[in-house]
Amino acid sequence: MPTFGFLIDNRKCIGCHACTVACKSEHQVPIGVDRTWVKYIEKGEFPNNRRLFSVMRCNHCEFAPCVTICPVTALYRRDDGIVDFNSDRCIGCKACMQACPYDALYIDPDSHTAAKCNFCTHRLETGLEPSCVVVCPEQAIVCGDLDDPLSKLSQLIKRHPVQVRKPEKGTKPKLFYIDGDEASLVPSRTRADDDSMWSRRDLAKSDGSPSGEWSSSARKSQAVATAEPRDSVQSPPLYPTANSNPSAAPDHRHSAPEPRRVYDVRARAPAWGWPVVAYTWTKSIAAGSVLAVAAARLVGGEKQSSAIATVMGLVGLVFLLITTALLVVDLKKPERFLYVLLRPQWKSWLVRGAYFLVAYSIVVTVWLGLLLLGATRLADLLLWPAAALAIPTAVYTAFLFAQAKGRDLWQNPLLSIHLLVHALLAGGSLWLMAAGAMDGVDRAMPRIFTTVILWLSLATVAGEVLTTHATVDARRAMAMIVGRPLGAWFWGGGVVLGHLIPGALLMSGAEYAILAPLMILAGIFAVERCWVLAPQRIALS
C-alpha cells in the first residue's frame, strides 16, 4: 500500500493560482472558502526586494489531530496515508478546525459540514493525479508515493533540502516544500500589509461577527503581541536536513524590513464564538451547584447541606439543560447531535465530555428526585457520586481544548485547574445567594468558602498570565487578553468586577455583599470569554 504525499517546489511556483482554480472547479468549492490557496510574501526593500509564493493546503499528517478530535469519525486516515472526510457523518462541531495547526479545514457554506483537500481520492482511484498537480504550468506541485524510493516525489526529497510547516506540533505532515522560506511557512514571522489591495483587511470581531471596527483593534493587538525582539521569537527548524543548521542564530547585523504578507485568503472569524463562551460558563454553574452542596456537607454537616440541596439541585439541572442546548445550537448540523452518543469516536474529548454530561445529568436528576420525594437518606448517599461526576464535567473542556493543537494557549496545563476553580467559585456564589434568600442557613460559612476560592481563582488566573508561554502564538494570544482587544474584558470584567470588588465586599461583611455573587458570576463569564476567543485570533497559515 503506498503512502501518498505532496511536494511544493517554490523554485518554480509563479503564484498563478491555477491550483486554486482547479481545486475549486474539481470539487465545486463554494466562494469564500478554499481547499488550496496561494499566499504572497514580500521581503526586502525596492530595488532589493522579492516576492515569495507558497501554496497552502491540508498536510495529510501521519498523526492528524483533526482525526483524533473528531467525535464521530467524519475525518479519518486511509491506509494510503490520505486524511479524508465523510460529510454524511459530520455534525459541524468545528473541533477539527481548532485542532488543525495549518488552517486547512473549513465549514462548507452549502453543506454545513467540514471539508478540506482530500488528495482528489476519486481521481487517484482511477489512476489520475490530483487536479492541482495536472494543471500546474511549472510542475511546481508534485505528488507520489513516499514509500517508493524511485518515485519522483521521493527522489526530490532525497536530492534537495525540504521543509515542512510546524514540525514542533508532532503531526508528521506529508506536505514538503523545496526552498520553503520561513517567512512564508511560519505565520508569526510576517505582518499583514494593510497598504496592499489584497491584504487581510476584513478581520472579524472577537465574537465571530464581521466588523470593520475590529480590524483596527486587531492590528493594534498584533503590533503589541509581536513587539518582542526577533531573536526571542525564533521558530524551531522547519525540517532538519543534512544541509541545514537548526542551531545557527539568525544574522541581524544588517537590519532589513520585516517580511510582509501582501496576498492571502480572508482571515476567518473564530470558529467557536459566543455559544462556546456561554457553554463554559453555564457548565461551571451546573457543576459548581452540586460541588457547593458537597462542600456544605463537609464543612457544615447534614443540616447545612440539606437546607440548600433542593434549590442547588434545581439550579444545577436547569444549567445542565442550558449547557446541552448551547452545545447543540453551536453545531452546524444540530439535527445530528445524537451521533456523538450513537457513533462515538472514543479518543475525542468531545465524546468523553458528552458522556460525562449525560452521566452527571442522570445522577443529579435521580438525586434531586429523591430529595423531592423525601428520601433524604438515599439522596445523601447519591450526593457523593454526583459530586465526583461534577469534577470531570467541569474540567473535561480543558482536555478538549488541549486536543485543539492549532491553539497554543489552550495547551497550558493550568487550564484544567482554572476550570475546576471556576466551578467551585460559581457554586460558592450560588451558595451565597441561597443563604441570603433562605431562613435558617448559616451565611458565614458560604462567605468564607467563596472568599477563599475567589482568591484562589485570582491566583490561578495570575499564574496563567505570568507563565512564560513556550510559543510565539501563545504569547500573542496572552498579549491580546491583557492588552488589546480583550484587555477591558479581562481587567475590568474578570479581575476588578469579578474578583477584587466582590473580594473586598465579602471580607468587609457589608450588607450589600449580596451583590458579590452576581459580580463573581459576571467575572467568570468575562474571563472565559477572553480565554476562548483570544487564541482563535492567531493566524495559523
Is residue 219 pLDDT above 90, yes or no?
no
Largest CA distance in the chain: 85
The residue-averaged pLDDT of 511-524 equals 87
Q: What is the CATH number of domain 274-537?
A: 1.20.1630.10
Closest CA to 397 of 348, 338, 344: 348
Long-range contacts (CB closer than 8 Å, 24 or more residues apart) made by 335-344: 336/72, 336/89, 336/90, 336/91, 336/92, 337/91, 339/71, 339/72, 339/89, 339/91, 340/71, 340/72, 340/91, 343/72, 343/73, 343/89, 344/71, 344/72
**Where does CATH 3.30.70.20 sit in the chain?**
4-192
The residue assigned the cell 452540586 is 290
Quote the pLDDT of residue 195.
56
Minimum mean pLDDT among 156-165, 210-219, 315-324, 391-400: which range?
Answer: 210-219
CB 226 within 8 A of CB 5: no
| Terminal Cα distance for the chain, rounded | 31
Sign of the Cα pseudo-torsion (524, 528, 531, 534, in order): negative
Contacts of 361 (CB under 8 A, 6+ apart): 317, 320, 324
| Residue 353 CB coordination number (10 Å) | 21
Kindly report the pTM of this predicted structure. 0.88
| Tens digits of residue pLDDT in 239-254 | 443 333 333 344 444 4
| Tens digits of residue pLDDT in 477-502 | 999 999 999 999 999 999 999 999 99
Kindly state the helix (H) or strand (E) to which residue 21 belongs, with its residue range: helix 18-27
Cα–Cα distance measured from residue 56 to residue 66, given in angstroms and rounded to the nearest whole number? 17
Contacts of 221 (CB under 8 A, 6+ apart): 479, 480, 483, 484, 485, 537
| Tens digits of residue pLDDT in 303-318 | 888 889 999 999 999 9
CB 363 within 8 A of CB 316: no
Peptide bond just before 257 cis, omega within 30 deg: no
Quote the pLDDT of residue 391.
97
Cα–Cα distance measured from residue 77 to residue 503, given in angstroms and rounded to the nearest whole number? 51
Is residue 205 pLDDT above 80, yes or no?
no
Which is more confidently placed, 405 or 218? 405
Calculate ∠ Cα 308-314-317, nearest 5°: 130
Quote the pLDDT of residue 400.
97
Closest CA to 422 of 381, 464, 456: 456
Minimum mean pLDDT among 169-173, 212-216, 395-399: which range?
Answer: 212-216
Which is more confidently placed, 507 or 409? 409
Long-range contacts (CB closer than 8 Å, 24 or more residues apart) made by 372-378: 372/310, 376/306
Cα–Cα distance measured from residue 302 to residue 433, given in angstroms and rounded to the nearest whole number? 19
Cα–Cα distance measured from residue 406 to residue 98, given in angstroms and rounded to the nearest whole number? 6
CA atoms within 13 A on the CB side of 100: 28
**Top-level CATH class of 4-192?**
alpha beta
DSSP string, 476-516: HHHHHHHSTTTHIIIIIIIIIIIIIHHHHHHHHT-GGGGGH
Is residue 291 pLDDT above 70, yes or no?
yes
Query: Which cell is 268 given?
Result: 476567518
Q: How confident is the model at residue 191 (pLDDT cuts 50, 70, 90)?
A: confident
Q: How confident is the model at residue 402 (pLDDT cuts 50, 70, 90)?
A: very high
- Averaged confidence pLDDT in the chain: 87
Quote the pLDDT of residue 257.
76
| Residue 470 CB coordination number (10 Å) | 12
Quote the pLDDT of residue 439.
72
> Alpha carbon of 508 to those of 296, 435, 451, 456: distances in Å?
22, 17, 11, 18
DSSP string, 71-110: TTSSEEE-TTS-EEE-TTT-----HHHHH-TT---EE-TT
Q: How confident is the model at residue 214 (pLDDT cuts 50, 70, 90)?
A: very low
Closest CA to 432 of 419, 449, 456, 457: 449
The residue assigned the cell 478530535 is 69
From the number of C-beta atoms within 10 Å of its C-beta (0-12, 13-18, 19+), residue 267 rates as middle
Secondary structure of residue 112 in the 3-state scheme: coil
Quote the pLDDT of residue 223.
41
**DSSP conformation class of 210:** B
The residue-averaged pLDDT of 372-396 equals 94
The residue-averaged pLDDT of 67-90 equals 96
**DSSP conformation class of 162:** E
**Where does CATH 1.20.1630.10 sit in the chain?**
274-537
Quote the pLDDT of residue 239.
40
Is residue 103 pLDDT above 60, yes or no?
yes
Cα–Cα distance measured from residue 300 to residue 466, given in angstroms and rounded to the nearest whole number? 36
Q: How confident is the model at residue 192 (pLDDT cuts 50, 70, 90)?
A: low
Total residues found in the chain within this entry: 541
| Tens digits of residue pLDDT in 253-272 | 445 678 888 888 877 889 99
| Tens digits of residue pLDDT in 26-46 | 999 999 899 999 999 999 888
| Tens digits of residue pLDDT in 110-134 | 999 999 999 999 999 999 999 999 9
**DSSP conformation class of 290:** H
Closest CA to 162 of 10, 283, 273: 10
| Tens digits of residue pLDDT in 427-468 | 999 999 988 787 767 788 999 999 999 999 999 999 999 988
Q: How confident is the model at residue 342 (pLDDT cuts 50, 70, 90)?
A: very high
Is residue 469 pLDDT above 50, yes or no?
yes
